[in-house]
Structure 1
Amino acid sequence: MLFSAILAILLAQLTIAQPSNLSCSCFLTNGSSAGYFTSHSFFDFRNIDTSPSTIPPLLADMNSTANAPRTSDYFSIESFSTRLPTFQSAAEIDTIAHNYHYISLRVLARVQGSPGACAGIFTYLPSSNPRDVQEADIEILTSGPRSMVQFTNQPSETATGGVEPQATVNGTNPGGEDWTEWVAYRVDWLPGKTTWYANGQMTAEIGFQAPRDPATIILNMWSDGGSWTGNMSIYDEAYLQLQWLEMVYNTSGPVSGSSKRSADLDLLQNRNIKGCETVCSIDENVNAIGSPMVISNHTGAATREQMGNVAWISVVISSIANRVAYALKNS
């Protein structure tokens, strides 16, 4: 069966919000999955240039998409494909760092377009054995009910190919909120569990096979043209769009990733260690998104706020070349 679409990527200058207070030495999140983290990053997509001149030229065949260089100095693309009448395009952007070891990630996002696509935001540690993959997913199927979001600690299949019911939750946005509208999604990956929220309300929590080791963070929009996403009709399109992305996180080992334990992990359970004297929040008493607020200070001395080494882009499955996606600068 033939499928078609075009991947369009908007190259844009990004606005990176500056925190309101630079004395944060660690960050405390709220909710049932509260934890302490060492680093904070915020990226604002709301004032980017959307003019047609910022869109790269259409890649017209499979070979050119598989070997495409990065289309902007803002980010590097591992690989992506363009959708023409003979194949289905998919796009995936990985963070440059592969050593995120527990994170609270929030995005203001919406998904729009035709049935037959899947929008994903997730942590990912690959393996040559599919049973050893570690992954915590937010997935939105454009062929599904427009309030339903899938939350999963992968793999979601058993060794015999059946469905692993402990691994996944078919969740619903609070109040039945339509995912074509702007919704603030949050995923908290902590030791022994993954917890998901939408618009501040918990939607799922799974302890079964929660990720354990340092990982990449991925944003993608894709279709398999089959039983999972459904068949997108020729020349149809779907979008994953972002207004902003914010995260607090810990790391372990080098940027390339490692299973080596880091002292950062101790912050998750115990803030009374060196380096966590001034505690900030991205949830409580915040005046503006992206600007953490000090909630306790035991030294009175300014320390530091870290901006992470991360590259992002939002992606679109599209049949029209001049469609918009958003890119996140490698800070």
Structure 2
Amino acid sequence: MTRGGALKKLIMRLPTSLSSFVLLLATTSVPLATAAPSLTQDSQCGCYLTNGTEAGYFSKHQFFDFRNLAQHAGVPAAITDFDENAEAKKTSQYFESPEWKDAWMIGSWNNSVGQRNDSSVKMVNSPNNVYIEANGDPHPASKTWLTLRTQRLADFQTAAEIESVSMRYQFVSMRMLARTVGASGAITAMFTYRGGQNLADVQESDLEVRTMDPRGLIHYTNQPSYTDDGMTKTEATANATMPDGLEWTDWAVHRLDWTPTKTRWYVNDHQVAQISFQTPRDGSKIILNAWSDGGEWTGNMSRNDAAYLQVQWFEILYNSTTEAVAATMSRRREDAHLLPIQRRGQQQDGTCKAVCSIDQTTTQGQPMMLWNNSAQVLTSRGGSLLSLVPWITAMVVFFMSTGFMA
């Protein structure tokens, strides 16, 4: 019997998940790895591998932490004049810092132009509604969080929106530790967005919480969800219930994985929705908001009522349209879904030398090195390669990603 035939016979006797793993090792080049996954810095990462229903590779990482900003905390009073809302100053120096300004803009537009047909209330976004708030929970897990507020005033709705400076995010895995609280009649949302002159040109993938809904219900949509003549595209939307009895008033990690063929949504690592219809294709912005316009979709808030999107941290893995796109992580046909990555940190065959994870990390926001092909090769006294090192490390990573070692 040939060596390949013996290996195949052995694999067929193994449990399904383990045999798949051994087959993967047998048909691809196994990375020469560090001895065990360990915390590292983004500068050491060539790319990032996600967990979830379908793993993907991304080239860059951003982390925004709002949990320890007590020096910037303060809740501003609502501004009761419509025009003064758009002209309001930022609520703290944090929003003037490079950390913020290099990545985010605060919206100040209103709905007087292009107002939705069923809108019954004027709405204006205000920098005054984006602020750092001290944690007032009974058993606080952080000192502060970021708040986006929307409130119904005498004759208009004041709202909040932040959007990325870059509109070149092309495929992302983005997550936020967040909750929605407050009165009925508002929307809070996290989404990607690329506008267009025509409705059919719009590309958007969004999570929306309607505060008039049952507290476990979330709406996920690849927009547009309707046509120019008002017909609903049912395949564009998935409405899901949060897992484990959670409500959107509870702190939870909400996650979008946007890949070339579909969008997947998770709550605390449980997949709750998947949409393949009209998946976004091109570079987009990332947006968070809290708003209402008194329409059928949002509901109508009672005067002086308010609702809030509260965020402890926001994290993004992404590819960018500005990068020189190289090969996929593997050239095998069955791995064609893996995302293209930039040339930084790649070997000549297009594979990534240093692979990191933000899913396996022990410190939120700091990646963990899974393996590193550029690390020094360990040898025995006789000079022979200690070939078991990468095999053992790869097995550890595999079982961690499948939950076997949890």
TM-score of the alignment, normalized to the shorter chain, above 0.5: yes
1:134-173 equivalences under 5 Å are 134-173=203-242
Query: What is the SS of the residue equivalent to 2:272?
Result: strand
Mapped pair 1:224 → 2:245:
no
Q: Compare CA radii of gyration and give the structure with the larger one.
A: 2
Post-superposition CA distance 1:227-280 (Å, at most 9, x none): 001111111111111111111111013xxxxxxx84068454467755720000
Question: Which structure carries more helix by proportion?
Answer: 2
The alpha carbon displacement at 1:130 in A equals 2.1
Amino acid at match of 2:325: A
Mapped pair 1:299 → 2:374:
yes
Mapped pair 1:45 → 2:66:
yes
C-alpha distance in 2 between matches for 1:155 and 1:120: 15
Task: Tell whether the 8 Å contact from 2:327 to 2:340 is kept in structure 1 after alignment.
Answer: no
Which shifted more, 227-236 or 266-275? 266-275
Mapped pair 1:276 → 2:352:
yes
Amino acid at match of 2:39: S
Amino acid at match of 1:250: N
The alpha carbon displacement at 1:36 in A equals 0.6
Amino acid at match of 2:40: N
Task: Tell whether the 8 Å contact from 2:58 to 2:340 is kept in structure 1 after alignment.
Answer: no
Identity %: 45
Question: What is the match of residue 197 of structure 1?
Answer: 266
C-alpha distance in 2 between matches for 1:207 and 1:118: 24
Task: Tell whether the 8 Å contact from 2:325 to 2:340 is kept in structure 1 after alignment.
Answer: no
Distance 1:30 1:45, change over 3 A: same
TM-score by length of 1: 0.76
Task: Tell whether the 8 Å contact from 1:277 to 1:298 is kept in structure 2 after alignment.
Answer: yes
Question: What is the match of residue 206 of structure 1?
Answer: 275
Question: What is the match of residue 39 of structure 2?
Answer: 20
C-alpha distance in 2 between matches for 1:44 and 1:105: 14
Distance 1:65 1:28, change over 3 A: same
Structure 1 gap ranges (5+): 1-18, 254-260, 302-331
Distance 1:280 1:51, change over 3 A: closer
Task: Tell whether the 8 Å contact from 2:328 to 2:350 is kept in structure 1 after alignment.
Answer: no
How many residue pairs end up in the alignment?
A: 274
Task: Tell whether the 8 Å contact from 2:39 to 2:369 is kept in structure 1 after alignment.
Answer: no
The alpha carbon displacement at 1:83 in A equals 4.7
Question: What is the match of residue 59 of structure 1?
Answer: 79
Query: What is the SS of the residue equivalent to 1:90?
Result: strand
C-alpha distance in 2 between matches for 1:227 and 1:296: 51
C-alpha distance in 2 between matches for 1:262 and 1:84: 49
Question: What is the match of residue 188 of structure 1?
Answer: 257
Amino acid at match of 2:170: H
Which structure would you say has the larger RCO, counting Cα contacts within 8 Å and 6 or more residues apart? Answer: 1
TM-score by length of 2: 0.63
The alpha carbon displacement at 1:33 in A equals 3.1
Task: Tell whether the 8 Å contact from 1:250 to 1:264 is kept in structure 2 after alignment.
Answer: no
RMSD of aligned residue pairs (Cα, Å): 2.3
